[in-house]
Amino acid sequence: MARPVTLFTGQFADLPLAQLAPLAKSWGYDGLELACWGDHFEVTKALTHPNYVQDKRALLEQHGLGCWAISNHLVGQAVADKFIDERHQGIVPPHVWGNGDPEGVRQRAAQEMMDTARAAHLFGVKQVNGFTGSPIWHLLYSFPPNNFATIEAGYREFADRWNPIMDVFDEEGIRFGLEVHPTEIAYDIVTTEKTLAAIGHRAAFGINFDPSHLHHQFVDPVLFLETFANRIYHVHVKNATRNLNGRTSILGSHLDFGDPRRGWDFRTPGRSGIEFEEIIRTLNRVGYAGPLSVEWEDSGMERAHGATEAAAFVHKLDFAPSQLAFDAAFKQK
């Protein structure tokens, strides 16, 4: 199908974009999904500095790279999280953190997400990906027993915080792709259904599909794609492996990624874990023609090697659907 193969730059934000762009081209990528941190895509500068977006686009074009999406996961996380703490201070820009008052952080994060849609419009992309945060993630395990009215109230709070953001996305003609993920308002099939219902199934709000976050929860990524076929707005290619040996669990054990005692971990696409062929076949069936964006996260592999290997894997993996039955040539008129 010749979908563009892109690299999500979030895991490379320590490198200036001027340094990363030629590297990504040499690694085999057609384009970049620009993270809104580091110097890769700065929302405030895009809105206030003359020629910022033109210069950014020219830098990509100089190296033969396209861009079909920008992503602001880190700020989006702060919009609806119940608890705002030092973890958020480490990931949001200083002007979003401000004095650290939790509700102030949420409000400034919401404004930054609105501005992200405006900046995307100026930059000429139609897709913004990210996280939403969650008012109810801390209630995942129902003990002490949950008051399930509180759960429903959490979905209403999410919608109250994100609907004004989506109003700006509508005004700018931009779509948002939630990366369904633990710690977000949607993390599996049931919660994604509830999230879409809570926000009124509005067209601007869809999914950045990443199978790695489903696989380690034992959620079938193909079934997820089939369930939300008309909401798949962007695709991440990232692998995950489960290491459940009787001593480990899918909860992670408060161990950092890369620790061999974890029950699951991320892997370079093409390594052990997810079988991607059925995902490609399903993307073909549901008509997804957008980028396949590698989000490289593998604590056990040097990243330039991993990014290069992943690009080659995805280029080889992708194929167009057939336009005729394989046995059509046997049929007589």
Q: What is the pTM of this model?
A: 0.96
pLDDT of residue 324: 73
Mean pLDDT of 29-38: 98
Q: Taking a C-beta distance cutoff of 8 angstroms, is the pair 69, 234 a contact? A: yes
Distances (CA, A) of 275 to 13, 32, 179, 292: 29, 24, 20, 15
Whole domain around residue 152: which residue ranges? 5-72+111-325
Q: Taking a C-beta distance cutoff of 8 angstroms, is the pair 272, 243 a contact? A: no
Which is higher by pLDDT, 51 or 320?
A: 51
pLDDT of residue 215: 97
177 band by pLDDT with thresholds 50, 70 and 90:
very high
Instruction: Kindly write down the DSSP assignment for every residue of 290-329, as one continuous string.
Output: S-EEE----TTS-HHHHHHHHHHHHHHH--PPPSS-TTGG
The percentage of the chain sitting over the pLDDT mark of 90, rounded to a whole number, equals 95
pLDDT for 332 beyond 70: no
User: Based on the structure, what is the number of domains in the chain?
Assistant: 1
Amino acid (1-letter code) at residue 58: A
Task: Provide the sign of the torsion angle of the four alpha carbons 146, 147, 150, 152, taken in this order.
Answer: positive
Contacts 24+ apart (CB under 8 A), 250-255: 250/216, 250/217, 250/218
Instruction: Kindly write down the DSSP assignment for every residue of 143-186, as one continuous string.
Output: -SPP-HHHHHHHHHHHHHHHHHHHHHHHHHT-EEEE---TTSS-
Q: Taking a C-beta distance cutoff of 8 angstroms, is the pair 106, 75 a contact? A: no
CA 52 to chain centre: 24
What's the first-to-final CA gap in the chain, in angstroms? 30
Does residue 97 lie within any of the structural domains?
Answer: no
pLDDT of residue 265: 97
Stated as kind and residue range, the H or E segment containing 237 is strand 232-237
What CATH code is carried by the domain that includes residue 216?
A: 3.20.20.150
pLDDT of residue 320: 87
Structure tokens at 134: 């969650």
The percentage of the chain sitting over the pLDDT mark of 70, rounded to a whole number, equals 98
Give the residue among 71, 55, 65, 58 at the shortest CA–CA distance from 20: 65
Q: Taking a C-beta distance cutoff of 8 angstroms, is the pair 292, 235 a contact? A: yes
pLDDT of residue 54: 98
> What is the per-residue pLDDT across 266-295, written as a single tens digit (0 to 9) for each?
999 999 899 999 999 999 999 999 999 999
Structure tokens at 204: 């601007």
Stated as kind and residue range, the H or E segment containing 7 is strand 5-8
Does residue 87 lie within any of the structural domains?
Answer: no
pLDDT of residue 326: 67
pLDDT for 9 beyond 80: yes
Does residue 77 lie within any of the structural domains?
Answer: no
Pairwise CA distance, residues 244 & 226, whole Å: 27
pLDDT for 180 beyond 70: yes
Does residue 103 lie within any of the structural domains?
Answer: no
Does residue 89 lie within any of the structural domains?
Answer: no
Does residue 197 lie within any of the structural domains?
Answer: yes
pLDDT for 225 beyond 60: yes
b or e along 182-195 (b: 16 or more beta carbons within 10 Å of the residue's beta carbon)?
eebbbbbbebbebb
Does residue 244 lie within any of the structural domains?
Answer: yes
Average pLDDT for the chain: 96
> What is the per-residue pLDDT across 107-131, written as a single tens digit (0 to 9) for each?
999 999 999 999 999 999 999 999 9
> What is the per-residue pLDDT across 79-102, written as a single tens digit (0 to 9) for each?
999 999 999 999 999 999 999 999
Q: Taking a C-beta distance cutoff of 8 angstroms, is the pair 30, 66 a contact? A: yes
